[in-house]
Structure 1
Amino acid sequence: KNSSFNAGVDNTHLLLLEKEIDLLRSLSHPHIVRYYGFTVEGSKVNIILEYVSGGSISKNLDTFGAFNENHVRRYTIQILQGLDYLHGNNVLHRDIKGANILVENSGRVKLSDFGASKLVQNLASATASTSTGLKGTIPWMSPEVVKGQSVDRKADIWSLGCTVVEMLTAKVPWTYCDEKGMCDDGQQDGSGWPYSLLYKIGVSEGGPPYPSSVSADLKHFLSLCFQRDPKARPTAAELLSHPFISPPSAPAASRTN
């Protein structure tokens, strides 16, 4: 992947690019897209990322349709391992969704696109490991993000839950209509998302709808991801021990660090 910004147009873009470069340089994990370097061509600065041949999860959903539960489990384990690594290094991804998770031909998945990521400073204060700002993609955003509240690693856990729903339905979260007809058909704003969606995320009791036919373990897993109070959501490490991820008859999912 080659990402370019015109440094001569907007210094803000250049500063954001420099932050992304510094962030990517510090990351090395089997489920994180590798950073290889950067080039400067006139007014443009290019960052060069690992090429992943299988495309993104969202592309695969468009091609093959919704994934079965076992397929969702295999990918979710790897996403959690990548998130556990990021969070262990004080990094928030802030835009977890199918389009930002790439798939190798072997089936290994890698978290990508850290343009909206933030390295969280390890400050000994009440606001340590938090940040603010509306960053990410609306249907995958957590309630605290859409409300403009302080955000920590638990926002990524909500977005992970939305990505699981995306894999189960092959639809953008909140646009799947369940058997009760729960779906969003509100007025579109300039970004292509309904005005009502931000409000719905902010006030709904749970997360986006998904098929009721999924297993009890998966329902419980999603209920934990969609806890309204971020403090009540598990960490990525804790979710790796959940029965949906590591059924009693199977060995616990190993953490790849």
Structure 2
Amino acid sequence: MVNGSLRQYITRTDDPDRHRLALDITRGMDYLHRLSIVHGDLKGDNILITEDHSAAIADFGISGVMGGTTFAMSSSSSLYGGTARWQAPEVLRGGHNSFPADVYSLACVYFEVFDGTIPWSGFNDAAVVMNVCYEQKRPPRPRGLVKTGFPDLWWNLMVQCWAQEPSDRPTLHYLMESLYEMANIRITLRPVSKWENTALGRLRNPLVHGKLAIPSGLPPFLGIKGDGATAPSDGTQQRSDPGEHYPLSSQIWMHS
């Protein structure tokens, strides 16, 4: 990407649109979780900035497809991984990556966006583990939150995402709803481009061709044989509420 990673972009840009970047990243993670995909290594270095200054999630090296609550990757090495200062306490203790662990990491990425520095800057991995797992501490309130126009909203969401217990953390769907309802933010998604259609195919093809163990309950818009469903023609996924549709985000970047 011409603008580099999120960390590079934040460092060399005088006044980045932090609010927009955080929204882009949230949309991208919501999209992945709707595909039943756990990223597992979310951090600023794995987020790329496009020519139009949008954020796109990349580097799916340890990502996995989830079936219910069971990790369905064929390699056990994909259960673990990531970078300590972005990892949830249960992962630091040797637990599996999961949707709630991604949510915790997302709040650490928010910290990068809003503060301009990495979480736990100046701490080594051992100190991060001690602070996160045993003292249950979290990074401080980011300095740049006020520039978003919604400092309290973003901070409250970050605190929720950093809950010690995975079951206490919000889902990506909840985060999207909160950003829309609490701040009355209009979340507009750009038309799906050619590379985004290719990205969806590259998420789907390993499942179809047997490169991953196929979990139950995959989203119907993947159109994988045997699930008895096809993708909605309007590019939306059915919400849990009858009669309502929620547009899928496309803030992901697949690369070889």
Could you say whether these structures have the same fold, taking a TM-score greater than 0.5 normalized by the shorter chain as the test?
Answer: yes
RMSD of Structure 2 on Structure 1 (CA) = 2.5
Identical positions, percent:
26
Gaps of 5+ in 2: 190-246, 250-256
Shift of 1:235: 1.0
Select 1:128's aligned residue among 56, 70, 74: 70
> Structure 1 232/65 Cα, relative in aligned 2: closer, same or farther at 3 Å?
farther
Aligned to 1:19: none
Q: Which amino acid aligns with 2:185?
A: A
Shift of 1:216: 1.5
**Greater relative CO (CA pairs within 8 A, separation 6+):** 2
Q: Does structure 1 conserve the Cα–Cα contact (< 8 Å) formed by 2:21 and 2:113?
A: no
1:201 is aligned to 2:143:
no
2:70 counterpart SS class = coil
Aligned to 2:7: 58
Taking structure 1 as the reference length, what is the TM-score of the superposition?
0.63
Gaps of 5+ in 1: 1-51, 176-183, 186-192
Aligned to 2:156: 220
> Structure 1 146/66 Cα, relative in aligned 2: closer, same or farther at 3 Å?
farther
1:149 is aligned to 2:95:
yes
> Structure 1 218/203 Cα, relative in aligned 2: closer, same or farther at 3 Å?
same
Q: Which amino acid aligns with 1:234?
A: P
Alignment partners' CA distance in 1, 2:34 and 2:248:
12
1:256 is aligned to 2:248:
yes
1:61 counterpart SS class = helix
Alignment partners' CA distance in 2, 1:252 and 1:106:
17
Shift of 1:211: 3.3
Q: Does structure 2 conserve the Cα–Cα contact (< 8 Å) formed by 1:174 and 1:208?
A: yes
Q: Does structure 1 conserve the Cα–Cα contact (< 8 Å) formed by 2:88 and 2:105?
A: yes
Listed one character per residue, the Cα deviations across residues 54-96 of structure 1 (whole Å, up to 9, x for unaligned) are 21111112213685xxx22211221122111211122111111
Q: Which amino acid aligns with 1:143?
A: P
> Structure 1 252/246 Cα, relative in aligned 2: closer, same or farther at 3 Å?
farther
Shift of 1:251: 2.8
2:106 counterpart SS class = helix
Alignment partners' CA distance in 1, 2:97 and 2:15:
30
Q: Does structure 2 conserve the Cα–Cα contact (< 8 Å) formed by 1:66 and 1:169?
A: no
Q: Does structure 2 conserve the Cα–Cα contact (< 8 Å) formed by 1:206 and 1:223?
A: no
Listed one character per residue, the Cα deviations across residues 97-153 of structure 1 (whole Å, up to 9, x for unaligned) are 111110112122211111121222x26xxx525888441011111111101123311
> Structure 1 66/234 Cα, relative in aligned 2: closer, same or farther at 3 Å?
farther
1:107 counterpart SS class = coil
